[in-house]
Amino acid sequence: MQKIFRKRVLRDLKSNCFRYLALGLMIVLGMYLVVSLVGAADTVISDVNSMSLKNHLEDGEFSVFVPLTGKQEGKLKNKGITLEKMFYLDYILKDNSTVRVFKSRKKINLIVIDKGRTAKNSKEAVIEKRYSEEHNLSVGDNIAIDGDKLKIVGIGTVPDYDSMLKNMSDSNVDSKHFGLAFVTDKKYENLKENGNYSKTEEYVYGYKLNGKMTNSKLKNYLNKLKLDTKKVRDPYFQEFLNKSTGKKKDIKNGIGKLSTGATRLKKSLSILKKNNITVQAGADRIFKTYLDETYNELEKYGYNQKLTEKNYKAVLQSCIDNTDKADFKIKLGLTLKELDALEKYKHGIDDYTGGVARSSGGAASLTRGMQKLKKNTNKLLNKYFKVNINDLTQFVTAADNPRIKASAGDQIINKYAGLVSGIIVMILFTYVISVFVIHGIEKESSTIGALYALGVKKKELVMHYLTLPIVITLLAGACGTVLGFSKYGVNVQLKDCYTYYSVPKLEAFYPFYLIIYGVIMPPVIAVIVNYFVISKKLSQPALKLIRNEQKNSRISNINLGNMGFVRRFQIRQMLREARTGFTVIFGMFISLLVMMIGIDCYVMCHNISVKNKADTKYEYMYTYKYPQKKVPTSGEGCYAETLSKKSHGYNLDITLLGIDNNNPYFNVNTVKGKNKVVVASSTAEKFKLKKGDKLILEDRANNMDYAFTIAGIAPYSVGLHAFMDIDSMRELFGQKKDYYNVVLSSQKLNIAAGRLYTVTTKKDISKSSDVFIDKMIPMISMLIVVSSIIFCVVMYLMMKVMIDRSAFNISLIKIFGYKAAEVRKLYLNGNFYIILVGAIISIPLAKKLMDTIYPYFVSNVACGIDLRFSGQLYLGIFAGVMLLYFVINQLLVGRLKKLSPAEVLKNRE
């Protein structure tokens, strides 16, 4: 019996060859889609990780103002830390591109040579891969750096510049204008001595912890390193240092002057104190002499009472009262007044000499106090009045470095998209297979009933009907997997990685789970689903199967009123084929889901591009390392701090920007208050924020959290931003009232490069916006094309099943004289409404579902997620669906013509 069944399998395969080919094609495309996307992603992730280990990728890096001393390096090595000096010099070449020159690495971040070898003498150099591709440089060519022609002996990559960002804060890679070169130690020192580099040498160290310390402990240790400011040759740093230490000097100078003044005062008062006795004796002598002279005058008039300091007033007043001589009375009154004046003078001298004596003692105490104050003030200033400057200028771990493993991080989106697409396609082809099997069993119902009557067991029939689906899905899955891993699959998806990131040549990675997924999963699912479907169908009695009795559907007998014959027939035909019609709609929905991944990706990238260009009002943005005292003329000063927020396991940077309300470059009305922010629309979209929500941002550099209340949402899509009132922000972060570190301008400003971290132009933002689309085009195209083909296959197969199921009826009405056009109207044209209604329902439903899922695909991307479609795009998708229907409909007309009246004879009892 099995031999007979095997022959029937071959006959079935031959007679339904196109059907199985189409089904196999759908599975091949599905597995190709999954394997190519996920395989490419796994290849990048696996190879980048393995290359990182092989080439000793840093655990992090740090920059300093002046190089570490031998003693400092030795202490770090003794703690188990491996260091690599990655000092560099930037040179601007004749084509205005910048080449960053390094010494060849020896221990960390080793260069991976794709072609050639490393430099061995002062006339040779190794050039970074992407820069060489953009400038058509190859091994054997020359490159002129600082007037010297260096022979290119190698082209390669380094793991710490996976993403070729000139500055870590840059938003996009521009390998046309930035690249790396690696030379010998001797050549590097020669270039350094010439001094023709575009900015001062940067002192960067790569480190590996080797399990001996943590990143935070190393950072704390480096923060304690003392900076010898005299060794810093950067004039802008010295200017910054002078500004920062100005108040400290003023206090020291003021205390010094006070101390000097106190010393001088002490000396002067000491001299005065020595003369106090002479001055006081003179005053006493003058007063006594005047009393004596007055007494002598009184004796002439008969008064002989002795005058003293205590009684002179009473005696003179008594004389004035008792004399009758008017002229004598007047003279006595004048004398009394003169004596009063002399007494006051004498008392003043007493007070003065006493004060001088006391002041002299106080001055001595003041001088001693000022000396102590000066001494203690110096100690206090050194201890508490510190300028927050140490040798460490930047500390970045590998996990937070945007240049490191950026390619692998980017592929996560493709991997998620591929896996989700695979699940969707699996569901679809499983359902399609089940429909085919059911149709096959119904078509051969009489044969199956006869076999049952002859004693064939149900188990044997189940195995027979499972054989072909298993073989087809196994072979198709294997073909799709092989095709996905071929140069037409994984390599196609790797192109966007190669053309953007600086990665070495990647070796194809064949993850075991993906091979199982592509080869084994399709037949396993086919077995599981079809076993239950076939078992249910074969559980009917043999007589019922022989008679090919079909279950009457109540829905097909509904009352349609006085509707015309053609329309009535079309509706009943659709109701009879409701299962198959549902499969077409379901296939459309699944295909649209896969397509929506690609379209959402495109729409998001397109919206970012358009909005970023529209929202960028400035032409230049200058980010300062050493701000000038005043904002340059024609510039708008702002204050920026970079904080972060975690999203689905990723730390995303958010720029907190302090601005004035009249800032011409942002349509933002900030609110006064240290806890009030206005978030950009991109930030609100990314984190699903609304007005009144709390926003917690982390300052990872200082282990601080900041809680803000969202006072509003502003239309701004460039990156992730939150806006604050600049004065409130300065107060929050303890900055001066006029502090700024970002300047925006509508024109190029004359700012020395040494003052700046970066200069970002509107053109840079435009290029970085467009690069998202360029990077994702291969994936977007594949998803749209593959989903369209799958939709066509499903629609064709299911509509063909409808025709095959109605073959007897079609043959019969042909006998009655119906023409081909009339047959098409009755059996095919009704499907138009199925597709029409299905498209109207499926397009928005697929869009809604994918909009819910898609943010998880891009959870590692620091940008807004605007997935809104225009009405034209909805209409375009709808028009595409209907166009595919009309094409498939025309193909099925040929199938109708092949049905002959002989079908009636084949099915007679």
Spatial strand order in the sheet of 60-64: 82-85, 203-208, 60-64, 392-397
pLDDT above 50: residue 69? yes
> Do 22 and 114 lie in a common domain?
no
Band of pLDDT at residue 102, cut at 50, 70 and 90: very high
Best-predicted range by mean pLDDT (222-236, 440-454, 486-500, 626-640)? 626-640
Of 801 and 158, the one with more pLDDT: 158
> Do 583 and 463 lie in a common domain?
no
What is the rounded distance in angstroms from the CA atom of residue 159 to the CA atom of residue 551?
67
Best-predicted range by mean pLDDT (167-171, 275-279, 460-464, 683-687)? 683-687
Which of these three, 143, 158, 191, is where a domain ends? Answer: 191
pLDDT above 90: residue 87? yes
Please indicate, yes or no, if residue 867 is contained in any of the structural domains: yes
Which of these three, 719, 750, 781, is where a domain ends? Answer: 750
Please indicate, yes or no, if residue 306 is contained in any of the structural domains: yes
Res 13: pLDDT:
74
Of the listed ranges 289-303, 493-507, 678-692, 877-891, the least confidently predicted one is 289-303
Res 837: pLDDT:
86
For the chain, how many structural domains are there in total? Answer: 5
What pLDDT digit, counting tens, does each position of 544-591 carry? 666 665 555 555 566 666 776 777 776 776 777 676 777 778 778 878
Of 897 and 146, the one with more pLDDT: 146
Which helix (H) or strand (E) is 721 found in, with range? Answer: strand 721-725
> Do 722 and 818 lie in a common domain?
no
pLDDT above 80: residue 871? yes
Residue 641 in 3-state DSSP? strand
Res 755: pLDDT:
77
Structural contact between residues 881 and 832, judged by C-beta atoms closer than 8 angstroms: no
Using alpha carbons only, give the angle 198, 204, 209 rounded to the nearest 5 degrees: 165
> Do 817 and 864 lie in a common domain?
yes
Please indicate, yes or no, if residue 620 is contained in any of the structural domains: no
What is the domain range of residue 412? 1-57+404-552
What pLDDT digit, counting tens, does each position of 326-369 carry? 666 666 666 667 666 666 666 666 666 666 566 656 556 656 65
Res 384: pLDDT:
45
Helices (H), 444-564: 445-453, 458-485, 490-498, 512-515, 521-538, 542-546
What is the rounded distance in angstroms from the CA atom of residue 711 to the CA atom of residue 733?
19
Kindly give, in sequence order, each residue whose CB lies less than 8 Å from that of residue 371, ignoring residues fewer than 6 positions away.
259
Best-predicted range by mean pLDDT (149-153, 198-202, 806-810)? 149-153
Compute the Cα dihedral for 717, 720, 724, 730 and give only its sign. Answer: negative
Mean pLDDT of 845-867: 82
Q: Average pLDDT, whole number, for the chain?
A: 79
Closest CA to 650 of 620, 685, 682, 687: 687
Please indicate, yes or no, if residue 66 is contained in any of the structural domains: no
List beta partners, residue 624.
756
> Do 850 and 889 lie in a common domain?
yes
pLDDT above 80: residue 719? yes
Please indicate, yes or no, if residue 241 is contained in any of the structural domains: no
> Do 335 and 474 lie in a common domain?
no
Res 903: pLDDT:
54
Res 381: pLDDT:
52
Kindly give, in sequence order, each residue whose CB lies less than 8 Å from that of residue 469, ignoring residues fewer than 6 positions away.
433, 436, 437, 523, 526, 527, 530
What is the rounded distance in angstroms from the CA atom of residue 243 to the CA atom of residue 735?
14
Q: Which residue has the tokens 């199985």?
A: 20
Res 136: pLDDT:
93
> Do 408 and 524 lie in a common domain?
yes
Of 210 and 293, the one with more pLDDT: 210
> Do 584 and 656 lie in a common domain?
no
Q: Work out the percent of the chain whose per-residue pLDDT is above 70.
A: 72
Best-predicted range by mean pLDDT (531-545, 778-792, 810-824)? 778-792
Residue 100 in 3-state DSSP? strand
What is the rounded distance in angstroms from the CA atom of residue 860 to the CA atom of residue 186?
42
> Do 540 and 443 lie in a common domain?
yes
Band of pLDDT at residue 909, cut at 50, 70 and 90: very low
pLDDT above 90: residue 57? yes
What is the rounded distance in angstroms from the CA atom of residue 357 to the CA atom of residue 349?
12
Res 190: pLDDT:
92
E strands, 750-897, are 756-761
Structural contact between residues 626 and 240, judged by C-beta atoms closer than 8 angstroms: yes
Band of pLDDT at residue 301, cut at 50, 70 and 90: low
Q: Give whole-number Cα distances, 560 to 222, 314, 574, in Å.
A: 85, 144, 13
What is the rounded distance in angstroms from the CA atom of residue 573 to the CA atom of residue 581?
10
Mean pLDDT of 99-118: 93
Other beta carbons within 10 Å of 247 = 12
Mean pLDDT of 365-394: 59
What pLDDT digit, counting tens, does each position of 162-186 carry? 988 887 766 667 788 899 999 999 9
Please indicate, yes or no, if residue 482 is contained in any of the structural domains: yes
Res 182: pLDDT:
96
> Do 710 and 823 lie in a common domain?
no
Res 128: pLDDT:
94
Please indicate, yes or no, if residue 79 is contained in any of the structural domains: no
What is the rounded distance in angstroms from the CA atom of residue 595 to the CA atom of residue 868?
15
Res 264: pLDDT:
62
Res 114: pLDDT:
92
DSSP code, position 363: H
> Do 766 and 737 lie in a common domain?
no
pLDDT above 80: residue 850? yes
DSSP code, position 182: E
pTM equals 0.68
Structural contact between residues 425 and 590, judged by C-beta atoms closer than 8 angstroms: yes
Please indicate, yes or no, if residue 476 is contained in any of the structural domains: yes
Residue 818 in 3-state DSSP? coil
Best-predicted range by mean pLDDT (24-33, 178-187, 220-229, 512-521)? 178-187
Res 758: pLDDT:
76
Mean pLDDT of 701-706: 79
> Do 282 and 373 lie in a common domain?
yes
Of the listed ranges 229-243, 448-462, 486-500, 664-678, the least confidently predicted one is 229-243
Q: Give whole-number Cα distances, 117 to 90, 123, 126, 795, in Å.
A: 23, 14, 8, 56
